[in-house]
Amino acid sequence: MINLVLFGKPGAGKGTQAAFLKEQYQLVHISTGDVFRYNIKNATPLGKLAQSYMDKGDLVPDQVTIDMLEAEVEKNPAANGFIFDGFPRTDAQAQSLDDFLAKKEMAVSGTIALEADDDELVARLLKRGETSGRPDDQDETKIRNRFDEYNQKTAPLREYYLAQGKFHSVNGIGSIDEITARLKAVIDGL
């Protein structure tokens, strides 16, 4: 079983590469954003709970997010493994994920950070913003603010996973096929 944590700044190519990894290794892709949207749209008990925090302008507690991810894992008992995209974002969340997986007699196999220069990522996102209609991809100041948030909150996970010998940095600059080949080399070596 392969369980991967995929992270990187906005525009690093996580979504593009997750689609490849899902097919190549027959993994279930769990995107935290997609899980939240599904639960809220379908008014599940967890979706209603998350919405109640969001309506007050509060952050959704980690445990609610963990409960949503656990439900997604439970829906796929025959999976060859999972790609966790957008979670964990903090050391506390990483520990919660490790604890949950341990209860299922599983573990994170490796974490892969797609690394790319900020200016390159800004250019990618602005180009994506021309066609996606996403307002957060059309304003360089907002894009750089998202990078700052990533640096402050998510980048420290590098140390958490380095301590476990599970952190892998992959150059996210190049053609999609070149980046895919780099990812495959890392995963095949796990």
pLDDT of residue 133: 81
Q: Model confidence over 77-114: pLDDT tens digits? A: 999 999 999 889 888 899 999 999 999 999 999 999 99
Handedness of CA 133, 140, 172, 35 (dihedral sign): negative
Provide the pLDDT for residue 107: 97
- For the cut 80, the answer to whether the pLDDT of residue 121 exceeds it is yes
Question: Which pLDDT score, from 0 to 100, does residue 134 have?
Answer: 80
CA neighbor of 179 nearest in space, from 2, 15, 17, 5: 17
- Alpha-carbon gap, residue 186 to 28, rounded angstroms: 18
Q: Is the dihedral of CA 92, 85, 100, 53 positive or negative?
A: positive
Q: What is the pLDDT of residues 12-70, one digit of tens each?
A: 999 899 999 999 999 999 988 889 889 999 999 999 999 999 889 888 898 999 999 99
H-run or E-run covering 102:
helix 91-103
Strands 28-31 and 81-85: parallel
> pTM of the predicted model, to two decimals?
0.86
Report pLDDT for 58.
85
Residue 111 confidence (pLDDT): 96
- Answer whether residue 156 shows pLDDT above 90: no
Q: For domain 2-180, give the CATH superfamily.
A: P-loop containing nucleotide triphosphate hydrolases (3.40.50.300)
Q: Is the pLDDT of residue 165 over 80?
A: yes
Confidence of residue 181 (pLDDT cuts 50, 70, 90): very high
Contact partners, residue 66, CB within 8 Å, separation at least 6? 93, 96, 97, 100
Which of 7, 9, 6 shows the shortest CA–CA distance to 147? 9
User: Sorting pLDDT into bands at 50, 70 and 90, what band is 190?
Assistant: very high
Beta bridge partners of 33: none
Tokens representing residue 130 in the block:
């021309």
The single-letter code of the amino acid at 124 is R
Active-site positions? 14, 89, 128, 134, 146
* Pairing mode of beta strands 2-8, 167-171: unpaired
* Residue 174 Ramachandran class (φ > 0 left, ψ -120 to 50 alpha, else beta): left
